[in-house]
Copies of this chain bind each other. A is one copy, B any other.
Amino acid sequence: MGFLRNSCQLPLFFLIVFLLSSSATGFKRFRRSRFNHEPEITTSAPSNDTQTPYFYNQTLDHFSYKPESYITFRQRYVIDYKYWNGANAPIFVDFGGEWNIGNAPSNGFLTAIGPRFKALIVFLEHRFYGQSIPLGSMEKAMKNTSVQGCFTTAQALADYAAIILHLKETIPAAESSPVIVFGCSYAGMLAAWFRLKYPHIAYGALASSAPVLYFDGFAQQVGYYTIVSKDFNATSRSCHETIRKSWEEIDLIASRPDGLSILGQKFRTCSELKKSFDLKDYLDSIYAEAAQYNEPPRYPLTTLCRAIDGAAEGTDVLGRILAGVVAFVGNQSCYDMDEYNEQTDTSLAWGWQTCMEIVMPVGHEVNDTMFQFAPFDLSSYVNDCEKLYGVQPQPHWISTYFGTHDFKFTLHRFASNIIFSNGLSDPYSSGGVLENISDSVVAINTVNGSHCLDLRPAEESDDPEWLRIQRENEVDTIQGWISQYYSDLKFRG
């Protein structure tokens, strides 16, 4: 799934794109986003002297009592004391997702609202990412089936519960502080799920761009690629049409004896093009990324379409596509078709998660988009995953444990204090909760917002009015929860 660009400080951001090919349908990949500054990860002292990194001695397996369950690993978290007032002021906890949080993480929204709430800000790193990898390295962790097997969302939520309880017990004047959890994308789902599973620990959750409905049994009429296509169409009808026509053009050329060589030269591939799928998949990833992160002030989708539409008169379809690539990626001597398949610790980790549990049926389901028809095929997906890891994926588990079929119904009758924020231009909003469910389970949407935009650092002068309003609504809602919390404290004990 896609991911997180919620801060300039966050070093890695990923976008999943599902393959087009029916032979490998649904297999997902990762990419660095090219829009953010990606600082070197430092293991030295944090740059911000109000932030301190700590390591919690975390239990590997919270849900069984086998001898090997008691293996522990060092889980990193960072505390920012800068705004903290003590005296039961709130604790804002930023949930890590599938990334390295670094030693000086940032969540622009929390930094912006910290002073108003006099809040303690805590950043948690997810197990198996960054410096929170059991056995010290992904290679060792993923070779040990006992350790690898404990890499699940339920375990990750229990980690967060344990750390938060530890902080409330050890930080002076924090015992009665309300805890509000925040997360973006996958971590946004974690935040919402945490509020459902650990309501005694988190008093509220802001789940930004969290496609909590995009699981098992999700209706496919409007899915990820439908929104990508809609975004392109809204930006430029002709750009959308050029892309829509381009796939057949590629297929046509590729069907010639020297077709792959021609395509490789045309798109300046860094290495010989071995199959047309690689090019199509690369382009697919670029379009998805452009739509997912089409944000102010640069609006990469607009840049891409402007190049496609603005190519010299007489430029053919593939020439226009190339102009779009050049505008989007930058003018390079060659383009790496494998860019989105780079193997890193993080991609290894997320590869496991998306195979085993976080199975979102993102495919090209509908025939009226600008993409070729290539639906998600769960059984081939699961088979490929099982071959890869040697254990059987559990694509229905998220639905069993958290609910998805009746999720809105459940939220209505059961949940409280959750904000689901979405930008409707974000393709992942197709799996988000987009309507108010009750007085305290609310949707705060923007028509033009992109993935996790509300949690990104405020740009002050540059931020559009609609984004400022979204953030203010979020702050007001959280303020309301916290006021309620203090007046409800009488029910404690």
Give me the interface of A with B, judged by CB distance under 8 Å: 61-67, 69-70, 145-146, 148-152, 154-155, 158, 161-162, 165, 196-201, 203, 356, 390-392, 394, 397, 400-403, 405-410, 412-417, 437, 484-485, 488-489, 491-493
Contact = CB atoms under 8 A, between A and B. Distances in A.
A394 B158 CA distance: 14
Given A67-B391, A408-B493, A437-B491, A165 B400 contact: yes
A65 B152 contact: yes
Given A165-B400, A197-B197, A491-B437, A70 B203 contact: no
A64 B67 contact: no
A34 B412 CA distance: 46
A366 B161 CA distance: 33
B149 A66 contact: yes
Given A400-B165, A493-B408, A64 B61 contact: yes
Given A412-B491, A491-B409, A161 B67 contact: no
A407 B152 contact: no
Contacts of A148: 65-66
Given A64-B63, A146-B66, A407 B200 contact: yes
Contact of A145 (B66, B394, B491): B66
A412 B410 CA distance: 17
A409 B178 CA distance: 12
Nearest to A394: B65
Nearest to A407: B200
Nearest to A66: B149
17 contacts: A63-B63, A63-B154, A63-B155, A65-B148, A65-B356, A66-B148, A67-B149, A67-B390, A199-B410, A200-B402, A200-B405, A200-B407, A406-B492, A408-B492, A409-B492, A412-B488, A413-B491
B66 A400 contact: no
Given A158-B400, A158-B401, A400-B158, A200 B410 contact: yes
Contact of A400 (B70, B162, B196): B162
Given A392-B70, A402-B200, A62 B397 contact: yes
Given A65-B148, A409-B492, 11 more contacts: A63-B64, A63-B152, A65-B149, A65-B151, A66-B146, A67-B145, A69-B149, A162-B400, A408-B491, A412-B488, A437-B491
Contacts of A196: 199
A417 B409 CA distance: 14
Contacts of A402: 200
A152 B154 CA distance: 15
Given A70-B391, A197-B197, A409 B65 contact: no
B403 A199 contact: yes
Nearest to A405: B200
Contacts of A413: 199, 203, 416-417, 484-485, 488, 491
Contacts of A199: 196, 403, 410, 413-415
- Give the residue among A69, A70, A203, A402 with the most B Cβ atoms within 10 A: A69
A293 B368 CA distance: 69
A200 B64 contact: no
